[in-house]
Structure 1
Amino acid sequence: MENEKNYFTAGELASLYGIPKQTLLYYDKNELLIPAFVNKNGYRYYSVSQYLVLEIILNMRKLNISVHDIKLYLENRSDENFGKILQDKIKECNELIDDTQKVKNSLELSLATLEKIPKIRLNQIELSFQQSKILLLSPPITKTTQIKDRVKTLAHHNQAAFSKKHFKEFTTGWIIDKDDFFAKKFNRSIQYFTPVSHSFSKKHCYTRPEGFYISIFFEGTYYQKASSIYLRLEDFIKRNHLIVVGDIYVFPIKNHWLTEDTKSYINQISFQVEYQNE
């Protein structure tokens, strides 16, 4: 029989690393760290060399290395194999840092947008020159598209616009055909859109051109206020001798994320215009 005094019981070994005995039992069942021997009373004993092996196991587990991969390494220990593990983990860390930075950037952008809300001038029509914007567009929505199918289109659009790992920093707006809007057919959305960065894949993107745009911020939902906003926009266009050359972009600024009261929503309507030829 082995001299038990020169070995650690499972409880003793576990206490040296501050881990529960169940962890050693788990490693035993997975043949990662099998006791040196088990006495007649069923107590498991571990050698001094196994104390050192457990050091490797626990530290590799801190790096989220699987039991299977740890077992492979223990069976094939070398400078080269350990170096490969370190290189792989450094790569994972860099990817995690990159993902975390993207989340941080999204949070900062969302906070900056939130802080601008109290400064928004409501119900004022503005004519200004705007730079081009890259927009991710959904597939077209037809006049016969049912509500459930519209939601499906929106959901698929959001999946494309926002990574599963990243915070949704932008809201999604919708586009109204200019001819429909100025024919008072306010409910005929033709597409959803989301602003995206220049690094976004351009496959389904549209660059909204630079130029002069009319814009107005207003409280309430688009559908609550569209008819009254329309009258003001039509009057502004006529008085300033403008021509509407682009579709209508409706973009939520304050929505269900910030309030349950739809009357407190804030939306923006914007569209491109040109001056009439004299």
Structure 2
Amino acid sequence: MKKGLIIALLSCTSYMYSQGNCLIYPEGSNERKACELAHQRENLKQGSRESQIMFDSILKINPNYAWAYMEKSVAYLKRGLITEGLRLLDKAVELEPRYNLTYRAYWHFQNRNYKLCIKDLERFYALPNAFIYEMTPGGDKDMRILLGMSYAKLGNYEKGIETIENCLKSYKREEDFGLTDYHTLGMLYVKNKQYKKALEIFDKQLKITEDYPDSYYYIGLAYKALNKPEKAKVNFQKAKDKFLDGYHIRNGYLCYKVYYLDVTNELEALTD
């Protein structure tokens, strides 16, 4: 997604500039010393023991340096030490919510804590200086998509659909859409029993990519609900074929993941 990558880079650049411009601090101040030391981390591998020691040194000089808490948390979160990572990230959010709320929300989503994800994202988008096109850390998905999925996971499909619809309406060009954004909306339409709308959205999804087996699975479910078993069977078979294709797109998020067994079960049920 061109826009996602550009925005992610712009977001990172803006954030690193605000944290890394040491000249904004008085010469000789602890803030200036901590900032100058932070620049040295570019020579260290992320998550290494040396980098963690450096972050501790930075925080000893300036215990209110939000950037250092956030960076220190990354190693813990990526290694599955969620409690330790979030404890550090909580401090970063406390000090600078604008730059850290969405990152914490992302980890809440990944760990299926949808209530806290919603809480962080609602707080973020209510900020007067919030950047509306905020992306996930990899730059592949708009955080508003995660917000919509979080509403849906808590049973509020209408709110989830509305959130994602508004997100997609804000895009100006086809190139702005993520690889599976239409899929996510179509999936929620199926969950909300709006099957005809789901099929309309999946038509758009397939114009972006035909390599996502999950899409064919949900198209199959929509046709099945509309009492069109032959069309349902065709799409379940396409989903099965895509799963067997080593180049298919995999679901990188933990929300409504489709498995190969789900597809074969549907096929068997229609065959019987």
State the structure with bigger RCO (CA 8 A, min sep 6), 1 or 2.
1
More helix by share: 2
TM normalised by structure 1 equals 0.22
Larger Rg, first or second structure (1 or 2): 1
More strand by share: 1
TM normalised by structure 2 equals 0.22
